[in-house]
C-alpha cells in the first residue's frame, strides 16, 4: 500500500523554468551585437552541460555559464557593464518571490496527515532552502531532501535511510528524467505532471518514457482524485 509521497519542487510546486526562459531571452538580447540569438542559446546550453560536474544545478551555475558564454561568443570583447547586467539577471532570479502553481496548496493540505510527505528537490542548497521557506509549504513535509542529482542511487539512499520500501513510495514531479524513470527503476511508482516548459537537459526520448509505465496528470489538482482511485482499486484487490 502507498505510504509515502515525494514531491519535486521546481516546476511541480512552484514556477521555475519560465523564469529562466525570460532571463535567457534577456541574455540573448544582450549579446545580439556579438552573435545571433539561436547560436547564443546553443553555446549557453553547451556551457551549462560542461559546468554541471563543477557547479551543479541552480541559478549560480547558470550565472557562471552565462558569463563564460558571453566571453566566448564575444571573443573577449564583452564589457564590464555587460557582465554586470548578466550578474543582475542572475540576482533577479535569486530574489524572485516564490509563485506556487495553481492547486498546489490545496493538494498538499488535502494529503497532509494521510501520507508521509517528502520534498525531494535538486539544486543549490541555499537557494532551495530560500524557496522552500518562501513557499510556505515547509510545515507540511515530514522530510526535506535537497540533492545534487536525481538518479536511482540518490532515491535508493533516501528510501533506505528513511526505511521506506520502494513499493510503498510514489514520486510526483514534472521531469520524466529526474522524477519518474529513476524511481520506476527501483520498483516505486511515479506521477508525471508536465510543466509548459521543459529544460533541454531534462528531455528524454519518447519511446523510453512510454516504456517506463507511470501515471500522467494534466495538473496537480488531479492528484488527490487519482490517489483516491488507487486506494479503491487496492482495497478491492486486497479483499478476501
C-alpha cell at 72: 566566448
Residue 212, pLDDT > 90, answer no
Cα(240)–Cα(233) distance, rounded to whole angstroms? Answer: 14
Average of pLDDT values for 214-228? 95
Average of pLDDT values for 80-105? 97
Cα(76)–Cα(67) distance, rounded to whole angstroms? Answer: 11
What pLDDT digit, counting tens, does each position of 119-165 carry? 999 989 999 999 999 999 999 999 999 999 999 999 999 999 999 99
Query: What is the helix (H) or strand (E) element at residue 235, kind and residue range?
Result: helix 223-238
For the CA atoms of the chain, what is the radius of gyration?
20
The more confident residue out of 232 and 186 is 186
Residue 200, pLDDT > 80, answer no
Contact residues for 103 (Cβ-Cβ < 8 A; gap 6+): 219, 220, 221
Listed residue (91, 70, 90) closest to 79, CA to CA: 70
The more confident residue out of 209 and 61 is 61
Residue 121 pairs in a beta bridge with: 146
Cα(126)–Cα(215) distance, rounded to whole angstroms? Answer: 32
Cα(147)–Cα(120) distance, rounded to whole angstroms? Answer: 7
Pairing of strands 116-122, 143-147: parallel
pLDDT at residue 153, rounded to an integer: 97
Fold agreement (4-15+98-238, 17-95):
no
Name residue, grid cell 482495497: 235
Average of pLDDT values for 224-228? 95
Residue 5, pLDDT > 50, answer yes
Whether the full predicted model's pTM is greater than 0.85, yes or no, is yes
pLDDT at residue 209, rounded to an integer: 46
C-alpha cell at 50: 560542461
**pLDDT band at residue 196 using 50, 70 and 90 as cut-offs:** confident
pLDDT at residue 71, rounded to an integer: 97
**pLDDT band at residue 81 using 50, 70 and 90 as cut-offs:** very high
Pairing of strands 189-192, 215-216: parallel
In the chain, the percentage of residues whose pLDDT exceeds 90 is 82
Cα(174)–Cα(7) distance, rounded to whole angstroms? Answer: 10
**pLDDT band at residue 239 using 50, 70 and 90 as cut-offs:** very low
Cβ contact 170:189 at 8 Å: yes
CATH number of 17-95: 1.10.150.240
C-alpha cell at 15: 514556477
pLDDT at residue 36, rounded to an integer: 85
Cα(171)–Cα(118) distance, rounded to whole angstroms? Answer: 9
In the chain, the percentage of residues whose pLDDT exceeds 70 is 92
Average of pLDDT values for 97-124? 96
Phi, psi angles (nearest 5°) of residue 116: -75, 125
What pLDDT digit, counting tens, does each position of 157-180 carry? 999 999 999 999 999 999 999 999
Give just the sign of the alpha carbon dihedral 207, 218, 26, 91: negative
Residue 228, pLDDT > 50, answer yes
Domain ranges of the chain: 4-15+98-238, 17-95
pLDDT at residue 204, rounded to an integer: 75
CATH of 4-15+98-238, one of 3.40.630.10, 3.40.50.1000, 2.60.120.260, 1.20.1260.10: 3.40.50.1000
Amino acid at each position: 500500500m502507498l505510504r509515502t509521497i515525494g514531491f519535486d519542487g521546481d516546476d511541480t510546486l512552484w514556477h521555475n523554468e519560465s523564469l529562466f526562459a525570460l532571463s535567457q531571452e534577456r541574455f540573448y538580447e544582450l549579446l545580439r551585437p556579438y552573435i545571433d540569438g539561436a547560436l547564443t542559446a546553443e553555446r549557453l546550453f553547451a556551457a551549462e552541460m560542461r559546468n554541471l560536474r563543477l557547479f551543479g544545478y541552480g541559478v549560480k551555475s547558470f550565472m557562471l555559464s552565462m558569463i563564460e558564454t558571453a566571453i566566448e561568443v564575444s571573443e573577449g570583447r564583452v564589457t564590464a557593464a555587460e557582465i554586470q547586467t548578466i550578474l543582475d539577471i542572475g540576482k533577479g532570479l535569486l530574489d524572485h518571490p516564490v509563485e506556487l502553481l495553481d492547486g498546489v496548496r490545496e493538494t498538499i493540505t488535502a494529503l497532509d496527515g494521510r501520507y508521509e510527505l517528502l520534498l525531494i528537490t535538486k539544486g543549490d542548497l541555499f537557494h532551495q532552502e530560500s524557496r522552500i521557506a518562501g513557499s510556505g509549504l515547509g510545515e507540511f513535509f515530514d522530510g526535506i531532501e535537497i540533492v545534487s542529482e536525481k538518479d536511482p542511487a540518490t532515491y535508493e539512499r533516501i528510501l533506505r535511510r528513511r526505511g521506506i520500501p520502494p513499493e510503498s513510495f510514489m514520486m510526483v514531479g514534472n521531469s520524466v528524467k529526474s522524477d519518474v524513470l529513476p524511481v520506476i527503476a527501483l520498483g516505486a511508482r511515479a506521477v508525471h505532471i508536465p510543466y509548459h516548459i521543459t529544460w533541454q537537459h531534462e528531455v528524454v526520448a519518447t519511446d523510453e518514457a512510454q516504456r517506463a509505465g507511470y501515471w500522467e496528470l494534466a495538473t496537480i489538482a488531479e492528484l488527490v482524485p487519482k490517489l483516491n482511485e488507487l486506494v479503491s482499486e487496492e482495497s478491492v484487490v486486497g479483499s478476501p
